[in-house]
Amino acid sequence: MNPELLTLAYDEATQEMWKHTRIRDRAQAIIAHELAEHQYEGDHELALIAGPETELPISQAAKELLSQMEKGWRLR
């Protein structure tokens, strides 16, 4: 939940979106991402791709955050 932890891994647009997204939506995005990471045996980059397409009932804001996380990932 701490936006400071995103500074090295994500671009500025993702960091800003994270800061301005409600905690509820952040939590939903985290849960969807972590589930995808589990399904893809810990592969973070595959989880970034799969996250926005989750079948979990998450908010549109959480899906948008997941999409931005995929676009803004720096450590490829």
Q: What is the pLDDT of residue 42?
A: 96
Q: What is the pLDDT of residue 8?
A: 84
Q: Is residue 1's pLDDT more than 90?
A: no
Of 67, 74, 58, the closest CA to residue 25 belongs to 58
Torsion angle, alpha carbons of 23, 58, 52, 22, to 10 = -20
Q: Enumerate residues 6+ apart whose C-beta is below 8 A from 13.
A: 68, 71, 72
Cβ of 68: how many Cβ atoms within 10 Å?
21
The residue-averaged pLDDT of 60-73 equals 97
Quickly state the pLDDT bin for 15 (edges 50, 70, 90). very high
Cβ of 25: how many Cβ atoms within 10 Å?
19
pTM, two decimal places: 0.91
